[in-house]
A and B are shown apart, each in its own frame.
Chain A
Amino acid sequence: MDLFPVWLSLRVSIVATALTVVAGLPVAWFLSRRRHVGKQLVAALVVSPLVLPPTVLGYYLLVLIGSRGPIGRALGALGIELAFTWRAAVLAACVGSLPLLIRAAQAGFESVDERLEQAARTLGRSEASVFWSVSLPLAWRSIVAGIVLAFCRAFGDFGITLMVAGNIPGRTQTLPLAIYDHVQANAMREANLLALLAVAAVIVLLVGVGRIVRVRY
């Protein structure tokens, strides 16, 4: 049985989770500050992917990054293929998992006592330094929970990936898509095996990471 989907999914979800963390933490930080203008609008945008059906979301994304879309055309001019490649699968996974990471991280940042951040400011730290040395370490538990959620969501994405990356075997067929194909063909033995592999892979990864990232403080 072809195990390509397993590797592809691991690769896509790890890269997607990394990107989600890099993009999502600043947004979560911004949303946790009390006094910013436009906060409600950003918060609504963040949650919106959760509200739309994944295939619909995928379709809108495809309109943007496909050969007729503004982003797709711009990237194409630079010689970069996005839609229907594994990169699109990464994008799909990111879109699905960003809301989860942002909400969890935002809650974490909000739970940090404001006075600690104020103290850091009076002790000569810039805003960036306050973030790195106070807010982030103290919100760490929630952020890790968010990352776990984001990873699982990225690994299991189906609808968005199906639309923007396609279900192309040997190229963009991630594990969830492969399982679905087998289920559709009523090949339950293969489907069950892949599903088991999926769960096992995720468990191994999360346990391993959990041991390495010991929560300090």
Chain B
Amino acid sequence: MLTVTFGKRLAGFALDVRWEASEAVVALVGPSGSGKTLTLHCLAGLVRPDSGRVALDDLVLFDAAAGIDRPPRTRRLGYVFQGYALFPHLSVRDNIAFGLKGWPSARRRERTEMVIERLGLGGLEARSPRELSGGQQQRVALGRALATDPDLLLLDEPLSALDAPLRRQLRDDLARTIREWGKVTVVVTHDLSEAYQLADRVVVYEHGRVLQSAPKSELLWRPASESVARIMGMRNILHGTVLKASPDRIQLRWRGQTLEAVNSPSRAYLPPPGSPIAFFIRPEYVRLIRKDRGAPDPHHHMNLMRGTVVSQADFGTIWTLAIRLDEPGPPAQGDHDLEVEVPRLVHEILELDRDHRWEFSIHRGSIQVLPA
């Protein structure tokens, strides 16, 4: 169990965070400059917070009130820095063994060999960091951090220095490695898919504050606010007016449509009728209705709407459509009201190249309300 509470004032920036994690892997996401790396520095003891407490299980790393501030070297942690910070004047082997200084030489050699092997760095032991590829450097950095058998593993943008195709593959490797080694891990990333794949819990940062800390499934479906939704990269963030609110459902008016959405379970959110409300619709959950099966059944198809595809984009495996509703008035998002994602197969079957007028439905569970 990792409990983190602290505040830190810097020139022009105030960090005030509080979150807890019993999960093995936590991802800190948010825009750059929101305090994620600073949080890692505080967890590592490289920066001293002004107040608060950091504890890993029963080991207190920092406690302002009790005057405890363990120096980095006693915190039993491994840190993979952004850009890896490999020692340029040491070989791969010496980099990895760097943290093992006090160990008896036989054990040190053994451990280093084990790490090298497990991370697939065999054959590279004598090379110097600048002779390695980006992926190899990343693995050396990881190996160096893991060699000391830390209790806490901190990763700062572990994949951002790599180019896209490599990143995909290494992400899988990294996820697997993290799970194999089983350390409590905190990963900082601005890449959401990275956060989803690597972590069990996601903590969302903005301007030095925590907007939401939740297991990733909850976050995916129930962002706590519009800010969180934006940071998580959710699309179709829309604004309507409340018609009726009950604990499990909210009826709202948007672009001339009456929509029914599920209410956010994290709060008993009961906005009064007539008040503004933010919500989002997942693009991949908008159902285009086949025209060869007769008129749609209103019980089967909720939130039925009608519109025209004004533009489409091909992303290889999926197509993204921009749909404008058959409603007078300006569309909600520039030239369109909704973004819809369809798999390639569906795109072909429905002949979306040719046919642009469609009816579509959205299950109420796919319209998520964003509490203010």
Partners in one complex: yes
Highest count of chain B CB atoms <10 Å: which of A118, A124, A125:
A124
Show 19 A/B contacts (Cβ-Cβ < 8 Å), sorted by A: A115-B83, A116-B87, A118-B72, A118-B79, A119-B79, A120-B98, A122-B46, A122-B75, A122-B77, A123-B99, A123-B144, A124-B101, A124-B102, A137-B89, A138-B88, A138-B89, A216-B89, A217-B88, A217-B128
Closest CB-CB distance, B18 to chain A, in whole Å? Answer: 24
Q: CA A146 – CA B128 in complex, angstroms? A: 27
Write out the residue numbers on chain A whose beta carbons fall within 8 Å of the beta carbon of B72. Answer: 118, 121-122
At the interface, yes or no: A40 with Cβ under 8 Å from chain B?
Answer: no
Contact of A121 among B73, B83, B144, B145 (CB under 8 A): B73
**Contacting pair A124 B89 (CB below 8 A):** no
Q: CA A137 – CA B101 in complex, angstroms? A: 17
At the interface, yes or no: B44 with Cβ under 8 Å from chain A?
Answer: yes
Interface size on A, residues (CB 8 A): 19
**Contacting pair B46 A121 (CB below 8 A):** yes
CB 8 Å contact bits of A109-137 with B (1 = contact, 0 = none): 00001011011111111100100011001
What residue of chain A has the Cβ atom nearest to residue B89's Cβ? A217
* Contact status of A118 and B101, CB under 8 A, knowing A123-B144, A124-B73, A125-B73: no
Write out the residue numbers on chain B whose beta carbons fall within 8 Å of the beta carbon of A122. Answer: 44, 46, 72-73, 75, 77-79, 145
Instruction: Tell me the B residues contacting A by CB distance below 8 Å.
Output: 44-46, 71-73, 75, 77-79, 81-83, 85, 87-89, 98-99, 101-102, 128, 144-145, 148
Q: CA A217 – CA B87 in complex, angstroms? A: 10
**Contacting pair B101 A115 (CB below 8 A):** no
What residue of chain A has the Cβ atom nearest to residue B74's Cβ? A124
Write out the residue numbers on chain B whose beta carbons fall within 8 Å of the beta carbon of A126. Answer: 73
Closest CB-CB distance, A75 to chain B, in whole Å? Answer: 40
What residue of chain B has the Cβ atom nearest to residue A115's Cβ? B85
Q: CA A113 – CA B82 in complex, angstroms? A: 12
Q: CA A137 – CA B148 in complex, angstroms? A: 23
In order of increasing CB-CB distance, the 8 nearest A-B pairs are A217-B89, A123-B99, A115-B85, A122-B79, A121-B72, A119-B85, A124-B73, A122-B72
